Amino acid sequence: MILDLRQQGLPGSFGDGMEAEFVASPPIAGVPWVVTTLPDLESIRGLMHALREHGYGGPLSVVARDDLAGLALETPGVPAVLYPVNNAADYALRMLADLIHSSEEPP
């Protein structure tokens, strides 16, 4: 993911958001976005707290495993809640529908 961002001209860093040293190490106050894929609500909230403690006030993108977690994460400062399981299912459905429809067309 970081390599893909860099190829698009966007800077990125990879690290463990649960490690206090990682959150404290870069000059976090000037970072335009933080994107996290931490797996659970408690970890994400901990990261949000650590980011605020280190002066980060910018937008945060998070991953939600289900709608309940997504609703809990939809707070000011979190403009992007991603649902990878739902997105993957939607993508798979579109791909299958396209394949089925294309096989139904007469030669």
pLDDT tens digits, 56-91: 888 999 999 888 988 898 887 889 999 988 888 888
Cα gap 51→33, rounded to integer Å = 11
Say if CB 31 and CB 56 are below 8 A apart: yes
Cα gap 5→75, rounded to integer Å = 25
The range of the structural domain enclosing residue 7 comes to: 2-104
CA 64 vs. chain centroid, Å, equals 8
pLDDT band of 5, cuts 50, 70, 90? confident
105 pLDDT more than 70: no
Max avg pLDDT among 3-7, 24-28, 54-58: 54-58
Q: What is the CATH number of the domain that holds 37?
A: 3.40.50.720
Cα gap 99→80, rounded to integer Å = 31
Exposed, middle or buried by CB within 10 Å (0-12, 13-18, 19+), for 30? exposed
* Confidence at residue 95, expressed as pLDDT on a 0 to 100 scale: 92
24 pLDDT more than 80: no
* Amino acid, single-letter form, for residue 13: S
Q: The pTM is what?
A: 0.72
Domains identified in the chain, total number:
1
